[in-house]
Amino acid sequence: MFMIMHSHEFHMMQLADSFFPSGTFGFSGGLESFVKSGRIKDKKGVLLFIRQQLEFQIMPCDCVVLSAVMSSATSKDIDGIVRADSRYYAMKLVREMRTASTRSGKQILQTLAHIKINELAKEFRIMIDQGKSPGTYPACLAMAAYSLQIPAESAVRIMLYTYCSSIVGSAVRLGTVSHIEGQRVLCFLAQDVSSATPKRDLDDLWQLSPLAEILQMRHEQDEFRMFIT
């Protein structure tokens, strides 16, 4: 007998798939600058970069915001959603990263409008259009997960896997790792993604990635760039 797959499991794969038009395919998260500067040369460097970003940025910041937004959405607290969205935007010091985040977030909600969007997500989208909330990637991904009835813990896994696969994909296109090496890197990251349990309180929000931010700022000034970030 075939196992019946719950609908949210299908939507999990849908949101995590690079085919979903969120725009993350064009992000390197600063990896391009690390490679250009010679700081990352092989799969070990790529793996270390991803793990450091997960520990010092993605998990304590992006994932906390996503979880906080989903918690507020469950309570139908639109003010809480906007507050988390705005806090995240304010913490992004690099203009290129802020722009990329809001561009991706808006693409998610635009796509969601053609799939399955509830009234709360519609209200949030209106507030973004009116300039009352920035519409960052973590907040909009959270609203997409909420609309598609994906559990909060699964939404966190989607964000983490999407980030990891996006960076590994960037490394492959930069010629730093082969496709096979890229898959090995993803396998090494499986435990990191599976064991993540971010908090939902915005008071626990933090990030610390000064070198990555400096190189991301340099990336903004590069005349020739392969990636958006």
> What is the pTM assigned to this prediction?
0.91
Q: What is the CATH number of the domain that holds 212?
A: 1.10.4190.10
Average pLDDT along the chain, 229 residues, taken 10 residues at a time: 64 88 79 90 96 95 96 96 97 90 94 88 96 97 95 94 94 95 97 86 90 80 65
25 in any annotated domain: no
Residue 115 pLDDT: 85
Residue 202 lies in a domain: yes
Whole-number pLDDT of residue 200: 81
Supply the pLDDT for residue 222. Answer: 63
Structure tokens at 145: 């997960």
Q: Is 189 within the bounds of a domain?
A: yes
Residue 8 lies in a domain: no
Q: What pLDDT, on the 0 to 100 scale, is given for residue 224?
A: 65
Please tell me the total count of domains within the chain: 1
- What is the reported pLDDT for 227? 66
Q: What letters, b where the CB count within 10 A reaches 16 and e where it falls short, cover 6-43? A: eeeeebbebbbeeebebbbbebbbbbbbbbbeeebeeb
Domain that holds residue 65: 46-219
Query: Is residue 30 in a domain?
Result: no
Structure confidence at residue 21 (pLDDT): 83
pLDDT confidence of residue 147: 94
Q: Would residue 102 count as lying in a domain?
A: yes
Query: Which of 127, 164, 126, 157 minimizes the C-alpha distance to 142?
Result: 157
Residue 5's pLDDT is 54
Angle between helices 152-173 and 43-53 (to 10 degrees): 150
Of 193, 176, 175, the C-alpha closest to 46 is 176
In this prediction, residue 20 carries a pLDDT of 86
Asked if residue 179 is part of any domain, the answer here is: yes
- Cα(114)–Cα(132) distance, rounded to whole angstroms? 23
Q: Answer yes or no: is 184 within a domain.
A: yes
List of long-range contacts for 1-4, beta carbons under 8 Å, 24+ apart = none
